[in-house]
Amino acid sequence: MKFSSRVVVVPQENIDTDQIIPARFLKVTDKVGIGSHLFEDRTEFQVEKGSQVLVAGNNFACGSSREHAVWALADFGFKAVVSTSFADIFRQNALKNGFLPIVVDPKTHALLKPGTLVTVDLAAQTLSIEGGPTVTFPIDSFAKTCILENLDELGYVLKHEAVISAFEKSA
């Protein structure tokens, strides 16, 4: 997984999941077209289509567990969000959808201006900034393998059926 894109920046800290996708759009039973409501009530963010990398302020996607937040970002066309930190549940949800929560230090974060061209290389775990540094980012090693090799986490756990059954008997 390697891609280059100009970034879109939503500079605020603590952008919560209600900002990403307001609750009134959670009444659906599928994921179709959910990206059309991304940041629906935050028009001042001026997030337009065409970019694959969103840059957001610290503690991105705090709040609710709604996976709709990831679905909306991905459906809109993003493949990664770069921030200085992410809420735990969002990070898990993102990785399960092959969507990258990329953590960088504040100095690197400050280099990312609207329109900055970046290249994300998951295998190398690097974010390269055009005319700037290439930095490495941490990512859960298991999630990385799953995304790169297109492995299915549920399939992985299902393979442990015998161990799960044994655990249930012993409990």
Residues that bind other proteins (CB under 8 A): 11-14, 16, 18-19, 22-24, 26-31, 41-42, 57-59, 62-67, 70, 85-89, 92-93, 96-97, 140-142, 153-154, 156-158, 160-161, 163-164, 167-168, 171
Question: How long a stretch of residues is the chain?
Answer: 171
> Which of 40, 119 has the CB closer to other proteins?
40
The Cα 131–Cα 98 span in angstroms is: 28
Minimum separation from the CB atom of position 146 to other proteins (A)? 9
Q: Are 108 and 128 in contact (CB under 8 A)?
A: no
> Which of 5, 56 has the CB closer to other proteins?
56
> Which of 48, 141 has the CB closer to other proteins?
141
> Which of 70, 102 has the CB closer to other proteins?
70
Sort strands 2-10 and 53-56 into parallel, antiparallel or unpaired: parallel
